[in-house]
Amino acid sequence: MAKNTMDLILRDRLQFTLSATGGQTTVYGRFDLSDYVSALERKGLSIKEVQFQMRDPTSATLANTGIWDQAGRFSEAGTATTQSAGLKIYATIRAYENADTVGIASPDVICIEEYLSYTGPFDPATGLPGNLTLLRDKYGTPDLHPNGFPVVTDLLIGVAADAWRTGDDQTLELDVMLIAEPISITQKQLTEMLVQGQDQ
């Protein structure tokens, strides 16, 4: 959370709709920082924390809370193989074409969250899946205080999903909260950002 007197708490809400088979090719939402950043004026933000919260406000089973169900896929009757579903969220200032190329070693990526829902083979004796495992992994330094990650552009929030069948055709919401401090960008910092932005 905010630790310095100049720290700001900024919030935004993004939406995306899963396909009929629970998929989502890589898409981006833009976290508008234009009130705080300008390369020409050498104004920037030092991003110190990024927090994500998935929400499902139209949930039929959790209608009172809008809590997103992390169980992404269940085995169907007669299924003899494991069933996996995945969802990936990340914050970056570079628009990567595909989420499968994005990792914490990727330039300009601040943080990543990955959800994996894994269901074991269907058990004909019980009529139930063998097991259900839900994983949520966060990558990247969660707390960048005190110096932060300097930016002079809007922040991009990337989302992609594979076979998240419990969300077929559903519009989900992603809440994003930033802790950031307005800063002045030196010419040296600006040059480094421009050079890094040209790296492929």
Q: If you count DSSP H runs as helices and E runs as strands, how many of each does the chain have, helices first?
A: 1, 11
Residue 30 lies in a domain: yes
Tens-place pLDDT, residues 99-115: 999 999 999 999 999 99
Given a cut of 70, whether residue 2 has pLDDT beyond it is: no
Residue 193 lies in a domain: no
Q: What per-residue confidence (pLDDT) applies to 126?
A: 74
Tens-place pLDDT, residues 131-140: 889 999 999 8
Residue 176 lies in a domain: yes
CB neighbourhood size of 193 (10 A): 19
Tens-place pLDDT, residues 45-92: 999 999 999 999 999 889 999 999 999 987 666 677 788 999 999 999
Q: What integer best gives the mean pLDDT of the chain?
A: 90
Residue 28 lies in a domain: yes
Structure pTM? 0.90
Name the pLDDT band for 192 (thresholds 50, 70, 90): confident
Residue 152 lies in a domain: yes
Q: Is there a contact between 100 and 24 (Cβ–Cβ < 8 Å)?
A: no
Q: Is there a contact between 176 and 156 (Cβ–Cβ < 8 Å)?
A: no
Residue 105 lies in a domain: yes
- Enclosing domain of residue 20: 8-183
Strand partners, 175: 13, 53
How many structural domains does the chain have? Answer: 1
Query: Higher model confidence: residue 163 or residue 198?
Result: 163
Residue 114 lies in a domain: yes
Query: Higher model confidence: residue 77 or residue 123?
Result: 123
Helix, strand, coil fractions of the chain, as percent rounded to 5: 10, 45, 45
Q: Is there a contact between 176 and 13 (Cβ–Cβ < 8 Å)?
A: yes
Residue 27 lies in a domain: yes
